[in-house]
Protein backbone atom coordinates (compact mmCIF):
# COMPACT_ATOMS: atom_id res chain seq x y z
CA UNK A 1 0.00 0.00 0.00
CA UNK A 2 1.28 3.46 -0.89
CA UNK A 3 2.44 5.74 1.93
CA UNK A 4 -0.41 8.23 1.44
CA UNK A 5 -2.97 5.39 1.65
CA UNK A 6 -1.38 4.05 4.83
CA UNK A 7 -1.32 7.55 6.29
CA UNK A 8 -4.98 8.05 5.40
CA UNK A 9 -6.03 4.77 7.03
CA UNK A 10 -4.02 5.65 10.13
CA UNK A 11 -5.70 9.05 10.25
CA UNK A 12 -9.18 7.50 9.94
CA UNK A 13 -8.37 5.16 12.85
CA UNK A 14 -7.19 8.09 14.99
CA UNK A 15 -10.31 10.09 14.06
CA UNK A 16 -12.60 7.18 14.97
CA UNK A 17 -10.92 6.77 18.37
CA UNK A 18 -11.13 10.53 18.93
CA UNK A 19 -14.88 10.78 18.28
CA UNK A 20 -15.63 7.66 20.33
CA UNK A 21 -13.89 9.32 23.29
CA UNK A 22 -16.13 12.37 22.70
CA UNK A 23 -19.22 10.16 23.04
CA UNK A 24 -20.17 9.72 19.40
CA UNK A 25 -21.61 6.44 18.15
CA UNK A 26 -20.06 5.28 14.90
CA UNK A 27 -22.59 3.78 12.50
CA UNK A 28 -20.27 2.94 9.63
CA UNK A 29 -16.85 3.74 8.19
CA UNK A 30 -15.95 4.17 4.52
CA UNK A 31 -19.55 4.07 3.28
CA UNK A 32 -19.74 4.20 -0.50
CA UNK A 33 -22.48 5.28 -2.86
CA UNK A 34 -21.30 5.00 -6.43
CA UNK A 35 -18.07 6.94 -6.65
CA UNK A 36 -18.81 8.95 -3.50
CA UNK A 37 -17.49 7.93 -0.10
CA UNK A 38 -18.05 9.07 3.45
CA UNK A 39 -15.14 8.35 5.79
CA UNK A 40 -17.22 8.10 8.98
CA UNK A 41 -20.94 8.30 9.66
CA UNK A 42 -21.75 8.77 13.33
CA UNK A 43 -24.40 9.96 15.75
CA UNK A 44 -23.70 12.84 18.14
CA UNK A 45 -26.69 13.54 20.36
CA UNK A 46 -29.49 14.33 17.88
CA UNK A 47 -27.25 14.78 14.83
CA UNK A 48 -26.25 12.40 12.09
CA UNK A 49 -22.64 13.45 11.54
CA UNK A 50 -20.99 13.02 8.16
CA UNK A 51 -17.25 13.17 8.75
CA UNK A 52 -14.47 13.72 6.25
CA UNK A 53 -11.02 12.85 7.57
CA UNK A 54 -7.99 14.52 6.01
CA UNK A 55 -4.56 13.38 7.13
CA UNK A 56 -1.16 14.80 6.26
CA UNK A 57 2.38 14.28 7.53
CA UNK A 58 2.90 18.06 7.64
CA UNK A 59 1.16 21.28 6.70
CA UNK A 60 3.83 22.45 4.28
CA UNK A 61 1.29 22.74 1.46
CA UNK A 62 -1.53 23.99 3.70
CA UNK A 63 -3.74 22.60 6.42
CA UNK A 64 -5.40 19.24 5.72
CA UNK A 65 -8.93 20.65 6.04
CA UNK A 66 -8.21 23.06 3.19
CA UNK A 67 -8.34 20.05 0.83
CA UNK A 68 -12.11 19.84 1.37
CA UNK A 69 -13.26 22.03 -1.46
CA UNK A 70 -16.69 22.68 -2.96
CA UNK A 71 -16.45 19.58 -5.16
CA UNK A 72 -15.67 17.33 -2.16
CA UNK A 73 -18.50 18.95 -0.20
CA UNK A 74 -20.87 18.17 -3.08
CA UNK A 75 -19.79 14.51 -3.08
CA UNK A 76 -20.29 14.30 0.69
CA UNK A 77 -23.76 15.87 0.49
CA UNK A 78 -24.84 13.55 -2.32
CA UNK A 79 -23.60 10.47 -0.45
CA UNK A 80 -25.20 11.64 2.82
CA UNK A 81 -28.55 12.16 1.11
CA UNK A 82 -28.35 8.65 -0.35
CA UNK A 83 -27.44 7.15 3.05
CA UNK A 84 -30.34 8.89 4.78
CA UNK A 85 -32.77 7.70 2.11
CA UNK A 86 -31.49 4.11 2.01
CA UNK A 87 -31.38 3.76 5.80
CA UNK A 88 -34.59 5.78 6.34
CA UNK A 89 -32.93 7.98 8.97
CA UNK A 90 -34.61 11.02 10.50
CA UNK A 91 -31.86 13.07 12.12
CA UNK A 92 -30.46 16.53 11.62
CA UNK A 93 -27.42 16.19 9.37
CA UNK A 94 -24.15 17.85 10.27
CA UNK A 95 -20.96 17.89 8.22
CA UNK A 96 -17.67 17.78 10.12
CA UNK A 97 -14.05 17.71 9.07
CA UNK A 98 -11.36 16.08 11.16
CA UNK A 99 -7.93 17.24 10.02
CA UNK A 100 -4.94 15.33 11.35
CA UNK A 101 -1.24 16.01 11.03
CA UNK A 102 0.80 12.97 12.00
CA UNK A 103 4.49 13.31 12.65
CA UNK A 104 6.93 10.93 14.29
CA UNK A 105 5.92 11.71 17.86
CA UNK A 106 2.25 12.66 17.82
CA UNK A 107 -0.97 13.36 15.97
CA UNK A 108 -2.41 16.86 15.98
CA UNK A 109 -6.19 16.78 15.58
CA UNK A 110 -8.32 19.71 14.44
CA UNK A 111 -12.05 18.90 14.52
CA UNK A 112 -14.30 21.39 12.76
CA UNK A 113 -17.97 20.82 13.56
CA UNK A 114 -20.54 22.26 11.14
CA UNK A 115 -17.71 22.70 8.64
CA UNK A 116 -20.14 23.63 5.90
CA UNK A 117 -23.85 23.79 5.15
CA UNK A 118 -25.49 22.42 2.02
CA UNK A 119 -26.94 25.14 -0.16
CA UNK A 120 -30.63 24.98 -0.92
CA UNK A 121 -31.22 24.53 -4.62
pLDDT score at 48: 96
CATH of domain 3-112: 3.40.1350.10
Arithmetic mean of pLDDT, 112-119:
87
Residue 118's pLDDT band, with cuts at 50, 70 and 90, is confident
69-89 tens-digit pLDDT: 899 999 999 999 999 999 998
**Domain boundaries, given as residue ranges, for the chain:** 3-112
Nearest-angstrom CA–CA distance, 4 and 57: 9
In the predicted structure, residue 91 carries a pLDDT above the cut 80: yes
Buried b (16+ CB within 10 A) or exposed e, 20-32: eeeebeebebebe
pLDDT score at 111: 96
Its pTM stands at: 0.89
Nearest-angstrom CA–CA distance, 60 and 92: 36
Amino acid sequence: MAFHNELGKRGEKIAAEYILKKGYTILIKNWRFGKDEIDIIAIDKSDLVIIEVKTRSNNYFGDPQDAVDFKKETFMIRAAEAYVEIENIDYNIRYDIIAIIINNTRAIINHTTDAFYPSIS
